A and B are shown apart, each in its own frame.
Chain A
């Protein structure tokens, strides 16, 4: 098992660069190479923070903890591995995409009265498969096994699996609906939930999107480089927490499961600076804050379904939060302008990692005179 985040970082960079190199393929009998993939390598770094609030001290554990605040760092990537393109008998173009994904999550729950704060990690390397049927439908499968551990006390790792199976139907560029099933931990427990999605409006224009259980968004592009969105989304997870502070009463237990969720509602601004770099900042209110501590022993029989027996629970008042991140994209792709299925596929791919959708083509408003020669050579006949 890979232990150090530094090794993960090297792996991410290697995959990013190798993905770029593999994105080339021979075209017919010519020497030139056309990009093979439709997806670019995307790396996202997300930072989130919210202030401490006092916990109810009527219980023994509440007194031991004192207060709760949160800081988290989330590094994610996705890179295309294999792309296959097929032409149907009716000239429609179908394609399949296999992507490698990774998520490296570091959560620091700040409990004011603990002597030493815990850093909880969740690291994952997964696979994502997208099939564009060339008609109206795009299939999406995401399998993401992950390991959680308490890095502060170098605890053992607990292996888990998150996954999603979705069918996305593009009735028109302005209307999309999705259905499927997801095994998710974002609601602070191990849930098997139906996935139901609905989007009204074109992805590259103002649109409203409801994606249960993940998000609710109103997206407002304010130009080719700036996108605002009003959103509400759950955020949470299940982490392994070392019992070094003797929070769990059972003697001999080295750790327990710390689960949390909250609903973040806020305003986000995404700024794109060129094809390779974007950043975003958002802020708003975090509500429905809940913490649970589950003992491993008490829930041993619950291997598949959600945990039921908790030994500590806290519901916290709403607070403000701040969230910011950078998104890097690498590699050349085939063109997919106005291809509603591929716009949808990029949206599905971006949905998981909170990176916005950096692959949607920019929408310039008018011709400008400062375009570079290379781009113009491609468009103007050579002899003209």
Chain B
């Protein structure tokens, strides 16, 4: 019994740390984006079965590239030497090329699964979701003031 008490105690001690470290808001925004796209693209069940795994993979890769790009921008500072600036420039160019490669490859895959019309519906839905998100943030910021 003593051993089990130790385990329970250890888990209970870990809980506050995990709760503090948790950050579920990112996933909730993602879930909203997915729900928004689902509603506006109007996929059939058969299309959805093939589309979502590919789209999730596409989105994961783009997300990674955008994070990389932000890291590049964060490393920039006014006093950086020529060598550092050249490295940052090359990293930025590499990210941009990777973004284009991923976009091209996955656009083709997605278009192959859902066709031209739904592909364009998808891009419009993504754009509209970003607008909605920004609008909501602006409204929230206004309320705080």
- A: which residues have CB within 8 A of B? 4-6, 9, 13, 27-35, 43, 45, 73, 75, 85, 90-93, 106, 108, 119, 134-136, 170, 172-173, 224, 273-277, 326, 328, 334-342, 361-364, 366-372, 374-382, 384
Q: Please name the residue on chain A nearest to B126 by beta carbon.
A: A379
Chain A nearest Cβ from B143, distance in angstroms:
7
Q: Are B6 and A9 in contact (CB-based, < 8 A)?
A: yes
Q: Are A4 and B3 in contact (CB-based, < 8 A)?
A: yes
Chain B nearest Cβ from A272, distance in angstroms:
8
Q: Are A374 and B52 in contact (CB-based, < 8 A)?
A: no
A30-B95, A377-B66 as given contacts; A275 in contact with B11, CB under 8 Å: no
**A106 partner, pick from B4, B19, B26, B70, beta carbons under 8 A:** B4
Chain B residues touching A, majority SS: helix
Q: Please name the residue on chain B nearest to A370 by beta carbon.
A: B140
A328-B11, A369-B140 as given contacts; A276 in contact with B21, CB under 8 Å: yes
Report which residue of A92, A136, A341, A371 has the largest number of chain B beta carbons within 10 angstroms of its beta carbon.
Answer: A371
Q: Please name the residue on chain A nearest to B69 by beta carbon.
A: A382
Chain B nearest Cβ from A53, distance in angstroms:
23
Chain B nearest Cβ from A152, distance in angstroms:
10
Q: Are B22 and A275 in contact (CB-based, < 8 A)?
A: yes
Given contact pairs A35-B60, A93-B57, A277-B22, a sample of 4 additional A-B residue pairs in the complex whose CB atoms are under 8 Å apart: A328-B14, A368-B140, A371-B26, A379-B129
Q: Please name the residue on chain B nearest to A170 by beta carbon.
A: B49
**A326 partner, pick from B15, B45, B69, B134, beta carbons under 8 A:** B15
Q: Please name the residue on chain B nearest to A8 by beta carbon.
A: B7
> Complex formed: what's the CA distance from A375 to B139 in Å?
18
> Complex formed: what's the CA distance from A92 to B130 in Å?
28
Residues of B near A5 (CB, < 8 A) are 3-4, 6-7
Q: Please name the residue on chain A nearest to B65 by beta carbon.
A: A30
B80 on the interface (CB 8 Å rule)? no
> Complex formed: what's the CA distance from A106 to B3 in Å?
10
Chain A nearest Cβ from B121, distance in angstroms:
16
Q: Are A277 and B130 in contact (CB-based, < 8 A)?
A: no
A30-B94, A32-B65, A91-B112 as given contacts; A381 in contact with B130, CB under 8 Å: yes
Show 8 residue pairs from A and B whose CB-CB distance is below 8 angstroms, ordered by the A residue: A6-B3, A136-B49, A173-B45, A335-B56, A337-B34, A374-B23, A379-B29, A380-B133
Q: Are B54 and A372 in contact (CB-based, < 8 A)?
A: no
Residues of A near B53 (CB, < 8 A) are 92-93, 134, 336, 339, 341-342
Q: Are A372 and B23 in contact (CB-based, < 8 A)?
A: yes
Residues 53-108 of B contacting A (Cβ, < 8 Å):
53-54, 56-57, 59-61, 63-71, 94-95, 98
Residues of B near A378 (CB, < 8 A) are 26, 63, 66-67
Chain A nearest Cβ from B32, distance in angstroms:
6
B27 on the interface (CB 8 Å rule)? yes
Per-residue CB proximity of B40-52 to A under 8 Å, as 1/0?
0000010011101
A32-B67, A274-B22, A372-B25 as given contacts; A367 in contact with B136, CB under 8 Å: yes
> Complex formed: what's the CA distance from A343 to B137 in Å?
31
> Complex formed: what's the CA distance from A381 to B23 in Å?
22
Q: Are A379 and B133 in contact (CB-based, < 8 A)?
A: yes
> Complex formed: what's the CA distance from A28 to B61 in Å?
10
> Complex formed: what's the CA distance from A106 to B27 in Å?
36
